[in-house]
């Protein structure tokens, strides 16, 4: 594992993924998915992996590949550069892509129309951008192979219902949609191929703001508020954090809480929130907005996206009343070595992990005598968010030897 990759991965854990793209791309043809004429509804299973909705698909009769559904993406993205040689492309051209972060623009191939094969759906003229370099390393972050991101084209023509309780997508044409009983229909706008809604946010100082938020199921946080520091200052309790990585570099900022967010008729209190550092370089977005609503909030609901009717439907799900918890260890980590090893990529200064001497590059071998090779990264995430004051026995490979360490979790915000 290269030092450069480690530096990128250490910024992925807290807010992953953050994908804000500006594409120099246009097409003369509509790009969309549809059901066969003889079908009205289909179901597609998905896996929720570290707050990412992952589905399987084939491209040009090759695969299967694992793709993350991401309403924050305006064009299908292939993040695995090796796919450029394996999916039988007819033609491709290179474009520059600007993202959010501190580095230079990225390069990508824009493909000709692909045959994107999702069971029960038919693709029409769907193009993709293939990154020449994997900037996100989603596979190591997820602990499984991740090949790309699927956004606007998947949602544009259909009604997509996401049920987090049974990990299924229920898909139909908008004319055949039967919305939730006792749910709430909330108007959205589709701008620059992304969905937006308005929410009322109550800040820790009591100030209420009518905020325009991009709905981004590819972002793992509950909510991100832009220009928070400049306009309102930071709350009393916050953590300086690496919020994620964009196409051109890391995104620094802060984690804290807001008093409440109201989406439609639903009011959710004491919400974990991300505040990007507004003193750092950012790319101007094509649509003015106040922030980003992520899957950390949306998974509390059953959700229907209906782009053709400019609407999203929400109904509280099993997680609706669950409190928001942040990592209490101070560790960021990724999976390596065939996804069987868990390597520390960052230790937050002053955190419990820092106080017991854990360091970047250390390998976590067991937690409470359970080998991490038998655990998913979500299992580990859950343990490290589990309880303020909980003590954990970690076996760690450090400086070419194995050490046993007692790590006591601490709620810091």
User: What is the rounded distance in angstroms from the CA atom of residue 380 to the CA atom of residue 386?
Assistant: 10
A 10 A CB-CB count for 177 gives: 20
Mean pLDDT of the chain: 87
Q: Which domains does the chain have, with CATH numbers?
A: 3-171 (2.40.70.10), 189-296 (2.40.70.10), 336-408 (2.30.42.10)
Ranges 133-142, 198-207, 308-317, 384-393: which has the least confidence? 133-142
- pLDDT exceeding 90 applies to what percent of the chain? 68
User: What is the rounded distance in angstroms from the CA atom of residue 263 to the CA atom of residue 303?
Assistant: 12
- pLDDT recorded at residue 87: 86
CA 9, 11, 17, 20 torsion-angle sign? negative
User: What is the rounded distance in angstroms from the CA atom of residue 325 to the CA atom of residue 167?
Assistant: 22
pLDDT value at 15 more than 70:
no
CA-CA-CA-CA torsion for 396, 402, 408, 413, nearest 10 degrees?
-30
Distance of CA 321 to the CA centre of its chain: 21
Sequence-separated (6 or more) residues with CB below 8 Å from residue 352: 328, 329, 330, 407, 408, 409, 410
- pLDDT recorded at residue 75: 87
- CA neighbor of 168 nearest in space, from 63, 76, 55: 55
């Amino acid at each position: 594992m290269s030092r450069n990759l480690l530096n990128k991965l250490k910024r992925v854990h807290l807010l992953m993924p953050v994908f804000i793209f500006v594409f120099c791309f246009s097409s003369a043809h509509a790009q969309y998915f549809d059901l066969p004429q003889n079908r009205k509804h289909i179901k597609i299973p998905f896996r929720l992996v570290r707050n990412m909705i992952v589905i399987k698909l084939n491209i040009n009769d090759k695969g299967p590949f694992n793709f993350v559904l991401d309403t924050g993406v305006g064009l299908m993205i292939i993040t695995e550069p090796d796919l450029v040689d394996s999916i039988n492309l007819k033609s491709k051209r290179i474009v520059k892509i600007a993202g959010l972060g501190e580095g230079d623009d990225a390069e990508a191939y824009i493909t000709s129309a692909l045959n994107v094969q999702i069971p029960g759906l038919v693709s029409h003229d769907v193009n993709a951008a293939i990154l020449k370099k994997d900037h996100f390393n989603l596979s190591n972050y997820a602990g499984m192979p991740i090949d790309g991101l699927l956004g606007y084209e998947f949602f544009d023509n259909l009604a997509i219902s996401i049920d987090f309780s049974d990990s299924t997508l229920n898909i139909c044409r908008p004319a055949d949609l039967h919305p939730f009983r006792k749910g709430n229909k909330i108007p959205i706008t589709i701008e620059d191929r992304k969905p937006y809604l308005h929410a009322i946010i109550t800040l820790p100082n009591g100030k209420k703001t009518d905020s325009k938020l991009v709905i981004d199921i590819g972002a793992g946080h509950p909510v991100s508020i832009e220009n928070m520091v400049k306009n309102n200052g930071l709350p009393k309790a916050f953590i300086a954090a690496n919020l994620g990585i964009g196409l051109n570099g890391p995104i620094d900022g802060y984690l804290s809480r807001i008093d409440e967010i109201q989406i439609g008729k639903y009011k959710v209190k004491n919400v974990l929130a991300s505040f990007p550092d507004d003193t750092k370089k950012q790319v101007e977005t094509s649509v003015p907005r106040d922030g980003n609503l992520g899957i950390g909030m949306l998974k509390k609901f059953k959700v229907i996206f209906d782009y053709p009717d400019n609407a999203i439907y929400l109904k509280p799900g099993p997680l609706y009343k669950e409190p928001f918890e942040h990592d209490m260890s101070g560790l960021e980590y990724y999976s390596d070595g065939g996804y069987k090893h868990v390597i520390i990529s960052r230790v937050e200064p002053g955190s419990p992990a820092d106080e017991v001497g854990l360091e970047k590059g250390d390998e976590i071998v067991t937690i409470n005598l359970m080998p991490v090779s038998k655990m998913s990264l979500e299992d580990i995430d859950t343990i490290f968010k589990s309880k303020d004051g909980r003590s954990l026995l970690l076996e760690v490979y450090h400086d070419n030897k194995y050490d046993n360490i007692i790590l006591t979790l601490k709620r810091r915000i």
